[in-house]
Structure 1
Amino acid sequence: MNTMTNKKDNKSSWAIGGGLLIGMGIGLFYLERSPLLFAGCMFIGLGVGLVVTGILSKKSL
């Protein structure tokens, strides 16, 4: 296996997971107000992680 491929995959998974965790952390502040805001923050964090993954994959090409 190529180590460069593994590094790129690891960065992608870290970006997606990190975005999701940030969204979850922000959503915890809104959990008492509305559970839907909590879920929305998680989806926004997931979306940000996916966008960052796309940017990282474009830079590696």
Structure 2
Amino acid sequence: MENRKQDKSSWAIGGGLLIGLGAGFFFIQTAPLWFVGCMLIGLGVGLTASAVLSAVPKK
């Protein structure tokens, strides 16, 4: 098996989206648009974290 370094930056996108989804469930009864907003904020945070992780040099 090869010893390759895998890029985990795509995990940040999915993780941010799942965190936004979980936070949105608290607001879904209050206002459904807050649910969508939480998902978009989570996606934005995940994309930002992905850009930061891909810029870090690998050892």
The SS at the match of 1:33 is coil
Q: CA RMSD in A?
A: 1.7
Q: Percent identity?
A: 56
> May I ask how many residue pairs the two structures share in their alignment?
57
Deviation of residue 52 (structure 1)? 0.3
Does residue 1:37 correspond to 2:27, yes or no? no
State the TM-score, normalizing by the size of structure 2: 0.86
Q: Which has the higher helix share?
A: 1
1: distance between equivalents of 2:57 and 2:35? 33
Which structure has the bigger radius of gyration? 2
| Poorly superposed stretches of 4+, deviation over 2 Å | none
Match of 1:54 in 2: 51
The TM-score with structure 1 as length reference comes to: 0.84
One-letter amino acid of the counterpart of residue 58, structure 1: A
Q: Residue 24 of structure 1 aligns with which residue?
A: 21
